[in-house]
Every structure is written in C-alpha cells, then in structure tokens.
Amino acid sequence: MTPLVMRSDFSLICLLATLLLLPPSILGEPIDVDDSLGIDSPGRIIDAVLVDLNSNVTEGDGENARRGPLVIELHTATWCSPCRPAETQLNEMLNVWPGLIALHHHSSITDPLSVIASNETKIHQGVQGYPTLVIDGRWVLNGTNQTQDLFDLVAEITSEGGARSSSPADNRIENWSIENSVISVNLNVSDPTLRVDVFLVVDGVNHVPLGLLSDTVVAGQTDVDVNSTVYISLNGSRASSIGDSGKLVMVVRNPGAAELIVGSDRPLYDGFFSTPPVFSEPTLFEENKWIMWLVLFGGIAALLPALQHTFPLLWSRRGSNEEE
C-alpha cells in the first residue's frame, strides 16, 4: 500500500494557489466528443458479451453473461516503454467503471505475448503504433500524450448516452466447453452481416521484467461465422499466475475496416512507437567504464614516484646544455 503523505495547512494552501494560477490548457479542458460517423460506421462495436470461465468445470452456458457498456482495446507491447502509463490509466479506469470491458492486445509480431487474433484486430482498426487506445471501435487515442484524455473521453461518452445498456440483446454466447486444450464456443448472433470476434482474456499474466499484466488477450478468433461453433486453441497461450480462469469476450462490430475519430486534441509526440527502439551495442569501454577509469588512474598513480625524479632530471640536463 502506498503510504499517505500528510501536508501542512500552509503547503495545502500553496498547492491550491498554484492550481488556480495554472492556465486551463495545462489542467485540461472537457473533451468534445465527435461522433459524426454515426451508429452505422464501419468497425463500430454494437454489442459485447463477457462470460467468466470456471476453473472447476470444463463447460458452461451463457446464463451469467454480462454486457459491457463500452469496450476499451489497448494495443500495447512489452518492449514499448510509453505503453506502461497507458496500461496504468486503463487499470485505474476499471477501478472507477468496473463494468467496462478491457482488452490488452499485444499486437506486435515482435512481442513474446503476441497473439494472431490481436494482430488481425490491429490491421482491422488501422493501428499504426503503440500505445493505441480504441474506444468502442469509434474513437482512438494515440501515444501516452493523448491517453491522458481517456477518463474525460469515457465520461463524456457516458454522459451523452453513448454507452450501451446492459439489457439482453439478440447476440449471445449460448455455451462453451474445454476439451484437449481447445475451447468450443457456441454463438448466436441475430444479424449475419456483422463481424464477430471472440477473445480469451486472462488477468495476471506474468511477464518478466514487467510483472503481472491485466486483461491480456491470450487467444482468440476474429471475423468468425455467426451462429456457429468457434474453436480456440489454448496451446501456447499464457496462463494466469494468480489463478484467474479467464473470460470469454464476444465483440460484435459493424462490418468493414474500422473508421476511427481521434478523441483528443493533444498532438502526437515521441511517446508513440511503431517498431521496437533500436539500441546500439555498447563498446568494451562503455560496458566497463568504471574499470577502465580505475586502471587509467591507477597507472598514473603508479608512475608518479618515477615521474617526480625523471622530470627534474630532464630539466637539469636541459639547463646544463643551455649553459654550455
């Protein structure tokens, strides 16, 4: 637990005075939600169903399924240092709005946690770099700079009635079963023209040196046939280090490549990576810099006794030669 820091009344007054003096641009302004593409825009999520799996059984139905009012997909990578603040912000948001559905897509082929279904989702959404947040298949936030507006954007979407209700719909996960490391999921989707993706999401995936990762997509199938049985292989997928059995998430989208609207006025900056950063190999001197300096100064120190006799001798010889 993070220790609480007690401030004096004087310090608190100074803090409030500083906040009042700061310009509005620094404190941030309300997000103006642009939904000009409309409800029928390609790639827009129209429904999302989540079913918790049970580690004690190998089959179940969709009776305990719940619907997420919004789906937030974070395209991240283990090699992407700017992704860490975005991951933290999304996790904090789930503490405020636990009903939201979060999907952490490791959609970089160079990522050891990479999943084919996440890579296909990245292509479908036109994601160009990391971190990228896609909210309900409608809005996009790029890089750690823009993701600072995640809370405000979701709050505005919710207040303007942009979130879905939790009432039952015509799209369901009927039942599921696990056999021979394969999950079979029976779907029932009313509109055969819709795009349907099914993901297995696990909380507590351990990745050294990052530690435990939340809501990680570890397997799945994208653009599946509706009203069909989807088979998801668990071979090679990551398990939870905290005993989480995982969740099945069915995402129903409008057909076509996603059209996204930027949900922030903040410009992009260098905290947005499209490929892993390239680090040059350190030289022998760089790797052992302190040893090299120690040897250098040690050598000079060892020569000092000899030099204090050598330099006066050379000086005296030079003076005698000049006198002659």
**Which two tokens mark 298?**
């040690």
194-219: average pLDDT: 96
pLDDT of amino acid 66: 93
Helix, strand, coil tally for the chain in percent (to 5): 30, 25, 45
Nearest to 201 by CA among 34, 53, 65: 53
pLDDT of amino acid 300: 72
- pTM (2 decimals)? 0.77
The CA distance from 138 to 124, in Å, is 13
Count Cβ atoms below 10 Å from residue 84 Cβ, excluding itself. Answer: 13
Q: Are 58 and 177 in contact (CB under 8 A)?
A: yes
Task: Let me know if residue 294 belongs to a domain.
Answer: no
Q: Are 222 and 210 in contact (CB under 8 A)?
A: no
Task: Let me know if residue 216 belongs to a domain.
Answer: yes
Q: Where in the sequence is the domain holding 88, given as residue range(s)?
A: 27-262
Distance of CA 320 to the CA centre of its chain: 78
Cα 259–254–216 angle (5° rounding)? 80
Any idea what the CATH number is for the domain that residue 109 is in? 3.40.30.10
The CA distance from 76 to 82, in Å, is 9
Nearest to 100 by CA among 74, 123, 82, 124: 74
Nearest to 165 by CA among 37, 254, 48, 33: 48
Higher pLDDT, 179 or 284: 179
pLDDT of amino acid 23: 40
Q: Residues 29, 35, 36, 42: is their CA dihedral positive or negative?
A: positive
pLDDT of amino acid 16: 39
231-252: average pLDDT: 95
Task: Let me know if residue 11 belongs to a domain.
Answer: no
What DSSP letter does each residue of 229-247 carry, written as one string?
EEEEE-TTPPPBSS----E
Task: Let me know if residue 132 belongs to a domain.
Answer: yes
Beta-strand pair 261-262/139-142? parallel
Structural domains of the chain, count: 1
Task: Let me know if residue 101 belongs to a domain.
Answer: yes
Mean pLDDT taken over the chain: 84
Q: Is the pLDDT of residue 304 over 70?
A: no
- Residue 188's beta-bridge partner residues? 172
The CA distance from 307 to 52, in Å, is 79
Task: Let me know if residue 318 belongs to a domain.
Answer: no
145's CB contacts (< 8 A; 6+ apart) are 264, 266, 267, 268, 269, 271, 272
Task: Let me know if residue 199 belongs to a domain.
Answer: yes
Task: Let me know if residue 303 belongs to a domain.
Answer: no
Helix, strand, or coil (residue 178) = strand
Output phi, psi for 249, to 5 deg. Answer: -125, 120
pLDDT single digits (tens) 151-200: 999 999 999 888 887 766 789 999 999 999 999 999 999 899 999 999 99
pLDDT single digits (tens) 8-57: 444 444 433 443 444 433 344 667 888 887 889 999 999 999 999 988 88
- Integer-rounded Cα Rg, in Å, for the chain is 29
